[in-house]
Amino acid sequence: MTRIPGMSVCRFSECLRLPLLLAAIMPLFTNASLAADWSVKEIRLGATVSAQAKSTFESGFFPTVVLYFDPLDSANAATWREKLLRPQLHAGLSVSSAGNASQVYAGFNWKVDVTDRLFIDLGFGGTVHNGDLDDDGTKGPKLGCSVLFHEYAAAGFRVTDKVDILATIDHSSNADLCDVNDGISHAGLMLAYKF
């Protein structure tokens, strides 16, 4: 078998993870959901910094913008099961101010109210980045693959009906599907505006 430089070969069970995940979520995209309201419901602006160890630390900061959509009508889900089956969708961009890995990502997210003003937001999806793939002797994370899984968690405070402040942490990695997997982790603050 010929190997392409920068690409790794995965074991059969590892290669099936992403296709099985995609097959599991396909029922969410019914004709009704595709005809739903795809307008931007929320925009978040903020900045994060690297939360990595010394050898994989990324200098600078990462201005970030994320758009949130609700085509599955999560806002009107009444039970926890409905909320789980009707997540919001998000798409974001994180740009390195110091020439490190910038990312474009998208995925699903779920908000859980803790009180009238406090909430938790959890998200899962994928990202594409321009970071180092292999160990080339330079500092910073070595990511192994150009496409990674992307997860985040945020704790938010509702300032008004339209404005939230959030503390966030996010992580991107290839789940050991490629030879190298340092991952990328950031923490920061975001300001959200709901339309």
Q: Which two tokens stand for residue 32?
A: 């009704």
Q: For residue 2, what pLDDT is reported? A: 44
**How many residues are listed for the chain in this entry?**
195
pLDDT of 36 above 80 = no
Residue 160, domain CATH: 2.40.160.20
4 within some domain: no
Residue pair 149/21 in contact (Cβ under 8 Å)? The answer is no
Give me the domain span that covers residue 111.
Answer: 12-194
5 within some domain: no
Q: What are 91's strand-pairing partners? A: 67, 106
Q: For residue 4, what pLDDT is reported? A: 46
- Give the global pTM: 0.80
156 within some domain: yes
Q: How far apart are CA 77 and CA 13, in angstroms?
A: 35
What rounded mean pLDDT belongs to the chain?
88
Confidence of residue 3 (pLDDT cuts 50, 70, 90): very low
79 Cβ contact list (under 8 Å, min separation 6):
none
The number of distinct structural domains making up the chain is 1
The mean per-residue pLDDT over the stretch 146-169 comes to: 98
Task: Provide the 3-class DSSP secondary structure of residue 184.
Answer: strand
What's at 180, amino acid-wise?
A: V
The mean per-residue pLDDT over the stretch 114-120 comes to: 98
